């Protein structure tokens, strides 16, 4: 009996759910939310869209999140302080009674701004990759702005973290290490392509992780999977300028 009930519930969950814009899932960390804070907002959406509850209590949210009510209250307070969440006072048109509801439009606006900035940076990286001379013709000759010299001969013998520390001239932060790990484990960028993107950033004189990430995303959008394809992709635009 209970197995059949579980199968029915699974089928129901598969057939419907909470509507969450994909952009929010891409942007929430960029606008400063933790995983727990994002899950809290998802629970607020669930309460409204599925259960018709506009103003769940901190106790109700805490039970869903598996945290103490005090912690839920602190999360709500921080989101409201940051302007990502607000409480609106509404009047029921039928009963005339006043009631409260959570408003997360601040989070939506902040996410949209972050996504727009991401798109702008992607455009700028794409434009720069098309306009400036590439390192694709070889890394050893002449060097470029920010080049440390001799990179091509040294890098293959080092792991990615050591390569980045060598080029940045300092130990990497935990967040930077996490970014490199995400490129490898989540995005599945080949090791050689990450190194190549780092070299592009070095020669462009823009040695920061956001720029390198934009390069990798641009290549991924154009189905570039290895160094040879990256060189060909860049040379295509160089050839298009008649250089």
Highest mean predicted confidence (pLDDT) among 12-16, 80-84, 162-166, 235-239:
80-84
Instruction: Please report the domains of the chain, with CATH numbers, ordered by start residue.
Output: 20-108 (1.10.10.10), 132-240 (1.10.10.630)
Q: What is the DSSP string of 182-235?
A: HHHHTS---HHHHHHHHHHHHHBT--SHHHHHHHHHHHHHTT--SHHHHHHHHH
For residue 189, what are its two tokens? 């960028």
pLDDT, one tens digit per residue, over 151-185 is: 444 444 458 888 999 898 888 888 888 889 889 98
pLDDT, one tens digit per residue, over 107-116 is: 999 999 988 8
Q: How many residues does the chain have?
A: 243
For residue 150, what are its two tokens? 């001799």
pLDDT, one tens digit per residue, over 41-89 is: 999 999 999 899 999 999 999 999 999 999 999 999 999 999 999 999 9
Average pLDDT, the chain: 80
Q: What is the pLDDT of residue 131?
A: 63
At residue 8 the predicted structure's pLDDT band, cuts being 50, 70 and 90, is low
For residue 200, what are its two tokens? 């592009």
Q: What is the pLDDT of residue 150?
A: 41
Q: What is the pLDDT of residue 61?
A: 96
Res 195 pLDDT > 60:
yes
- The larger pLDDT score, comparing residue 214 to residue 120, is at 214
């Amino acid at each position: 009996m209970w197995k059949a009930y579980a199968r029915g519930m699974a089928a129901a969950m598969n057939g419907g759910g909470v509507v969450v814009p994909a952009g929010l899932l891409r942007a929430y960390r960029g606008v400063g939310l933790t995983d727990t804070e994002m899950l809290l907002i998802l629970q607020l959406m669930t309460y409204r869209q599925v259960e018709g509850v506009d103003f769940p209590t901190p106790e109700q949210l805490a039970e869903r999140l598996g945290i103490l009510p005090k912690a839920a209250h602190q999360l709500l307070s921080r989101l409201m302080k940051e302007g990502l969440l607000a409480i609106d006072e509404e009047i029921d048109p039928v009963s005339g009674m006043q009631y409260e509801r959570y408003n997360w439009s601040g989070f939506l606006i902040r996410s949209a701004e972050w996504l727009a900035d991401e798109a702008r940076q992607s455009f700028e990286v794409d434009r720069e990759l098309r306009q400036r001379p590439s390192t694709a013709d070889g890394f050893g000759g002449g060097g470029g702005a920010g080049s440390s010299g001799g990179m091509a001969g040294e890098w293959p013998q080092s792991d990615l973290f050591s390569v980045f520390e060598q080029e940045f001239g300092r130990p990497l932060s935990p967040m930077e290490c996490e970014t490199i790990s995400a490129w490898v484990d989540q995005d599945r960028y080949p090791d050689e392509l990450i190194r190549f993107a780092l070299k592009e950033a070095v020669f462009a004189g823009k040695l920061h992780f956001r720029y390198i990430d934009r390069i990798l995303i641009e290549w991924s959008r154009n189905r570039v999977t290895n160094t040879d394809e990256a060189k060909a992709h860049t040379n295509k635009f160089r050839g298009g300028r008649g250089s």
